[in-house]
Chains A and B, each alone.
Chain A
């Protein structure tokens, strides 16, 4: 199964819609609730990152019998230092993002923690790509 979602930067009222729809789909597929929680927490953190930092982005979800694969691609400022961005507590979030309850520099580390496979690529001035996999049977 393949799903795609378009995400608009700055649109906090809609942030989480894609993650919510993925959660519903996984529930219908009777995936273990613990696995669903890891998937949707990682996805929601990624979705919020696109809304908070990028101009726009896309989320691609592929579900097979073994894993849930999530690819998040954004057009945005990119991350100059990925190692630093992965550190707990490092954040470049604006005050507006912090007012929404985010921007504490915990998103990327939490995505990694909830993933079985995690990879990040970023180019300054172009955008960021996240590749996340969560295994269904573990």
Chain B
């Protein structure tokens, strides 16, 4: 699935990374707990989270996660945007709950990690 499709399906707003929007992704992981995200071994993963702070960005950077979808209408602040630009992480805001966003992406073929 392309990141563009992810954004469209979730009625998301791409805050940063439009130039990477054609990129294909295979897996998604949904969590507000960064400790869990840091245990993931897979590549080609997007993160769905309601944790809107710089540590979500740092966690994604260390885990080689190329896109974060912020659910529940959480907003990307200036510090997060700066880090996103520095590390080249696509940032999408969306109005859906974590449950709905996960369900929509799962139904359309994005795979779970486990």
Give residues in A with beta carbon < 8 Å to B: 12-13, 15-16, 19-20, 23, 33, 37, 40-41, 44-45, 48, 100-107, 110, 113
Contact with A along B39-61 (1 / 0, CB 8 A): 10000000000010111101101
Contact call B58/A37, Cβ cutoff below 8 A: no
- Is the CB of B107 closer than 8 A to any CB of chain A? no
Instruction: Tell me, rounded to whole Å, the shortest Cβ–Cβ distance linking B114 to chain A.
Output: 16
Min CB gap B18→A, angstroms: 23
- Which residues of B are at the interface with A, using a C-beta cutoff of 8 A? 32-36, 38-39, 51, 53-56, 58-59, 61-64, 79, 86-87
- In the complex the two chains form, is A110's CB within 8 Å of B58's CB? no
> Hey, which chain B residues are within 8 Å of A106, CB to CB?
35-36, 38-39
A110 interface neighbour in B33, B35, B53, B87, Cβ under 8 Å: B35
Instruction: Assess whether B36 is in contact with A33, with CB atoms less than 8 Å apart.
Output: no
Inter-chain residue pair count (beta carbon < 8 A): 64
Q: Which residues of A contact B58 (CB under 8 A)?
A: 15-16, 19-20, 44
Q: Which residues of B contact A33 (CB under 8 A)?
A: 64
- The secondary-structure label for the interface of chain B is helix
- Bound complex: CA A44 to CA B32 (Å): 17
Q: Is the CB of B62 within 8 A of A104?
A: no
A41 and B62 contact, Cβ closer than 8 Å, known pairs A12-B55, A13-B54, A101-B53: yes
Chain A hits for B79, CB < 8 A: 13
Bound CA–CA A101/B33 (angstroms): 5
B38 engages A41 (CB within 8 Å)? yes
- Distance in angstroms between the alpha carbons of A13 and B11 in the assembled complex: 30
Closest A-B pairs by Cβ, 8 of them? A16-B58, A101-B34, A104-B35, A106-B35, A44-B62, A40-B62, A101-B51, A100-B55
Quick check: B38 and A44 within 8 Å, CB to CB? Answer: yes
Do residues B55 and A101 form an inter-chain contact, with CB atoms below 8 A? yes
CA distance A103 to B62 in the complex (A): 18
Please judge, given known A-B contacts A16-B61, A37-B63, A41-B38, whether A104 and B33 are in contact too, CB under 8 Å: yes
Alpha-carbon distance A5/B86, docked complex (angstroms) = 20
Beyond contacts A105-B35, A106-B39: 6 other A-B pairs, Cβ-Cβ < 8 A, are A13-B54, A15-B55, A19-B62, A101-B51, A101-B53, A106-B36
A7 vs chain B, min Cβ distance (A): 13
